[in-house]
Structure 1
Amino acid sequence: MTGTATLHRRPAKPPAGHGPPSPGRTPGEGRMAALLLSPTLLVLALVIAYPLISAIHQSLYRAQSGLDADGYVTEGEAFVGLANYADLLAGESGQRFLNAFGNTTFFTVTTVLLETILGLALALAMNRAFKGRSFLRASILVPWAVPTAVSGLLWRWIFQSDGIANSLLGSEILWTAEGTASKLAVIIAEVWKTAPFIGLLVLAGMQIIPGEVYEAAKIDGAGWWRQLGSITLPLVKPTLLVAVLFRMLDALRMFDLPFVLIGPGKESVETLSMLAWDESNQLRYGSASAFAVVLFLYVAAVAIVFVKVLGADVTGARQLGAKRKARAADTTEKTGATR
């Protein structure tokens, strides 16, 4: 007795690169995206890449004057290689650089730490439901909306010798002179202005936390502190890291507030940006460019540490990737259920 067997063969997979395009994507979409982004990339190249390359090139030269073969005075720029960078660690220029570097780091760490604590407290206060919450949110925006130069003038009036600060303290502290008092004045003014920035970003992160999570925690007997440590802080960590990163990058470039509040040439508050400005104001463009390049590398190093080590999701790529994985898993589940 013979029978006929029927063979079921799966269709062969198309070779890589010749399959149908992924859902929602056309073959020319990449070229169109590049074409649409080209104006933005061109502007970024003009305002970021060109000034950076120009600063690096300028830092390799130094203005020099001398006598030519005929005895005439000549002035110009001579190539000195890395001499401007070597001067950052020696002599009077090295002392000013190390002092400015220390001031920049001190102001960044101190102000960002205080702003993070105060901003988190403001976010927790604004996130609670109470009468007048809208007024509180609007009033917190006021310091952030005030221009930095205007804020510096306002605090200079407060910290002058016969100002409000000394009247309240009953003392005669010279806030705008050299010394620790000037550092404290800059820290107070900076924290007052920029703490609302962190508070508003953290508040935005708190708004997307489902209320059911807190309800479940209350049912399990978790108090306010337990909810803060186990729910609120872990869930707002990505937003908080991005806010702290932005503030650190901004604080590292601090210039206008101490410049207006205390004034230029003050050793106790001179930052790297102020030092580069002073060098360029003295027509020493080579050393000024060297200071600017070192500041750029400092800012880049901090950004890399936050993004690579601490996991700050600045572009939202991780969140987008997680959503795509969840969507793909959901699609696979539905496909398997229909089979």
Structure 2
Amino acid sequence: MEDGFFIIGVFVFMFILWLATGGPTHPLSFAGPVLHTTISSGGNARYNGSGAFRVSYFPSTNKKQSTPRASNEQIEQKISQVSRQVHELSNGVSNAVLFGTPSPYKGEVFLNHFVWGAGSSNPNREYVVLHVSSDAPHSVDISGWSLESGTTGKKAIIPKGTEVPRSGIINAGAPIIISPGDKAIISSGQSPIGASFEENVCTGYLAQYQSFYPQLPRICPTPESELRKFYRPQPYSRDLACITKVQNIQRCTLVGTIPQGLTTSCSTLLTTYMNYNGCTNAHEHDMGFLGDTWRVYLGRTNNMWRARYETVKLLDAHGKTVDMFSY
């Protein structure tokens, strides 16, 4: 019995001691049992026999990954983009088929992608412009080449021409040679002088009584310069009447009727030098006499090109495509 009271006394003493040291406010009162473990960087949690465990943590591989969903607008944009690409590819294939076999001159010779006066009732007003690149390695003979409508099938051969024609005669034909950097205005109609030709410093005289499209440049030598150079016998300064007459003549203008009262020297000057043939004979060998433009005529009596929905093809002498454009 005394032993029982002793044991009860011990517990009461410990309870009183616990209350004296903080009792229920002591942190240890709420702490659960502590398990001391050692967690390695990649191992499993295992008890090591000395009160420690090794723990490895592997993240779950079963967690679902959320993937963003494209909006309807994004899907429509993608479909539209693909449709455009398919359309462009289809057009590219169609153009390649229409273009045909490329010519070795492709890139060296090309057209202005425009037809002036297309569909005109006057074929002389209808023309295209051909260029030879300034980077071309050599001059190009375009006689025997052709222009063709990819829409109607109309075709015209580029003829021969005369580099320096003479007025009033039938000019012999020769290959039309276009130098690098030069061009050819190719009219559908017939030549006003009966031949294709290269512009020169005297061709402005040809436009006085004939129509050219586009107009020929009026760059003839001035009447005053012709007076100073060709009046015979010199000095021309003694012939005041001739000086007055010449000063009233416009450049590239033929004097049709020689006024009375002029000296023989003045009359000879006007009739010999101030017209196309006389100007050409006097200046043909001058530096810079020839221009950089040929006037080429296909000789048609009706138009070559449609006003709308047309495809223009330039073919070399072997039928290979040099250039093509549509409008």
- Scaled by the length of structure 1, the TM-score of the pair is 0.19
* Higher share in helix: 1
* Higher share in strand: 2
Which one has the largest radius of gyration? Answer: 2
- Scaled by the length of structure 2, the TM-score of the pair is 0.20
